[in-house]
Every structure is written in structure tokens, then in C-alpha cells.
Amino acid sequence: MSKGTVVLAYSGGLDTSCILVWLKEQGYDVITYLANIGQDEDFEAARKKAESLGAKKVFIEDLRTEFVEHFIWPAVQANAVYEDRYLLGTAVARPCIARRQVEIARREGAQFVSHGATGKGNDQIRFELTCYALYPEVKIIAPWRIPEFYNRFRGRTDLMEYAKEHGIPVPVTPRAPWSMDANLMHISYESGILENPKVSSQCLIKGNIIHHFFIFNPYFIPAGVPVKVTNMNDGISKTTALDIFSYLNEIGGKHGVGRIDIVENRFIGMKSRGIYETPGGTVLLKAHLDIETFTMDKEVRRIKQGLGIKFSELVYNGFWYSPECDFVRHCIAKSQENVEGKVQLSVFKGQVYILGRESPKSLYNEELVSMDVQGDYDPCDASGFIRINAVRLREHHRLQGLSSTKQ
């Protein structure tokens, strides 16, 4: 008798292939699910591999457009950055993947879902919080938290031996001394030799950075969402969400834009080192920040900055599908109603340079700010403004003087 049906988030790699066979050994019927979110993958080879290993069904879902429009664009609107540097490339992908996983589980009548995330990382939390939020009665099988599994497979050698015993195809190319995860938003490198924070990440750099400028015009509609990008060097324009982001990844990547080496604080309580490459996301962050400042009221933007930090923390910690994150996203969307216009920028040797901007919703008043035109502004008014703001400082100084006199 089968213990039930489990939908496994499958990559086609060694770990999840071994998990597939192990789940079958435990008495489960296994449905494999592979999400295409822009990674460089032979999806048909993965399908054939899963079928050969006994998967009951195989789902390969193209989520690239959904990923950009429903997950990356809200992150762009929020100027989402975790701990001042990380653009959340992995964190925004996990709820996208897990949402489709539970949709398949519900449709197929599966009582279980499973994943290959480790017991020390953030991804287990992100996957499972999404699953519980969208399918509360689901049961989750996390092999790397089950003692009989992780005691049996203490490292890659044990997995390789198990694979050979069970006819699981094993990698024929040498394994890199680190792990890598890729999607449309970014590529991340961690673990292996990179766990030593002193080891230089220069070993990851491939090829040469292009040494000439590319000049772009990203366009934003009222909502702070990119709708077009034009390369001013050759006139090429991209207008769909997927094409815009893929194109900026291509050009930004050639210039080494968006590469960081950081130590971050995992939600689970430990520090970890990660190297991230987020070229398209970095270009759009710079462009969006610029047009947002150009069109948004000062005090609204101050509040929105705090919301962006909160959004980043919630997404990093796995709470995309929480009431608080839903509330924050709605507030951020409201703030974007007048964020519209065009930014001209260039990318060169790892940097993004803003060259100019224009918007029909601009709050920039050239006449008001000009040093050559007085405009609708009386400089005498500044005297009263300064005196009012000095009241607090004078009182503080008076109090400090009283304190020193008493001493």
C-alpha cells in the first residue's frame, strides 16, 4: 500500500534524484515538479531522468514571465535590498516556485510535498511557509531534517554511492568547489571553499569585462513598473517584462554590474557568506531609485523607505504570503502611483551611471530651484524657517549650560 502521493521540487541534480528514489523506497508515489525560472537547464533531459527513476508524473512549468511580473517587479517597486546589499534573488524565487508546487499538489490530490533544501539554510523556511500559507493541511517531507536520511547521506560521496547502487545517472564533469543557484534574478555562489570568508571570490570571475559604454533608457509607467528599455547605441528596444529583464541581465552581466561578496544574517540564526551576481536587478534598482526620487513627495518617500526595508526582511525570512507582507506590498504599490518616466543611464566596468531623467509627474521645478531666477520664492522666508528650527537647538544648548554650571 502506498503511503500517499508526494510532489517533489525536483532539479534533476544528484540530491533531488536521490531523494526521488529514497521517497519511493519509503513507500510514496512521487510526482516531480521542475520550475523554469530562467536557470540554464536541460529540462527535457531532467524529465527523462525523473521518468526513468520512477516518477509517477513529471511537471515542467515555465514560470519565467510570472516570476518577473509577480515577484521581481514588486521587489523593484520596493527598492528591495536586504541588509543594505543583497537584492533577494533567491528569496523572491522561492515563493514563486512553492506556489506552483502546492497548486500541482492540490490538483493531483497529493497529501505531501517535498524539497531538497538543507536543514541549516533559509530556503527550507521559505518553501514551507509558502506551502503552509497556501495549502494549510499539507504535510511536508524535508529529507535533510530526517535523521535516518541525513545520517545515511553524510556527504556527496554517500549520495554518489547510493546513485550507483540504484542506477541514478551521476555527473560526469568535475564538481565545482562551491554550490551555485541560478535564476532570472541572479546567480548565487556559496558553500565549499567559500565557507572560509578569507578565500577570495576572484576564482568565480569568468572572461573579461567589456570596456565601452552602453547607454539605456528604461521607461516606467505610473506604478513604478518597467515597460520598455532602449539601447541608445543600436536602437534595440525591449517591451515585455521577460525581455526587458533578460536584456538588462545580458548587458549588465557583460559589464560586471551587480556582483557582491557579503556575509549575511540568515533567519535561522547563523551568519553565512554568499557571492551574488544580479546585473539586471541592479540596473533597475538604480533607475527606479532615480525616477522615484524625481516624482515622489519627500515625506511619502521617507515612509516608503521604511516599508521597503520591512518588505526586504519579510521576503528574506520567507513571509511573502503573510498578512503583513500583503499589507506592505499594497502600501508600496500606492506609493508608486506617480512614479512614471524615463531614466537615461550607462553601464561601464561594473558601475551604473545615471545620465538624466524626465517625467510628466516630476516634482522638480527648475524655475523654483534655479540660482538665476527667483521664481515663486522669497529668500527672506528662509530666515524665519531657520529661526524656528534653531529653537530646539538653543534650548538644548541652554540645558547643557545649566548642567555644566551645576557641576
Q: What residues act catalytically?
A: 15, 94, 123, 179
* Residue whose cell numbers read 578565500: 199
Contact between 81 and 285 under an 8 Å Cβ cutoff? The reply is yes
Cα separations (Å) of 150 from 85, 201, 321? 33, 29, 29
The DSSP string of 278-333 is: -HHHHHHHHHHHHHHHHHS-HHHHHHHHHHHHHHHHHHHTT-TTSHHHHHHHHHHH
Distance CA(48)–CA(12), nearest Å, equals 10
Cβ atoms of 356 and 364 within 8 Å: the answer is no
For residue 274, give the 3-state DSSP assignment. strand
What secondary structure letter does DSSP report for 82? B
**3-state DSSP call for residue 29?**
strand
Phi/psi at 35 (5° precision) = -95, 130
Q: Which three cell numbers stand for residue 65?
A: 514571465
Question: What CA–CA distance (Å, rounded) separates 311 from 305?
Answer: 10
Q: Please, are residues 78 and 270 in contact by the beta-carbon 8 Å criterion?
A: no
- H/E stretch holding 119: none
Longest pairwise C-alpha distance within the chain: 88
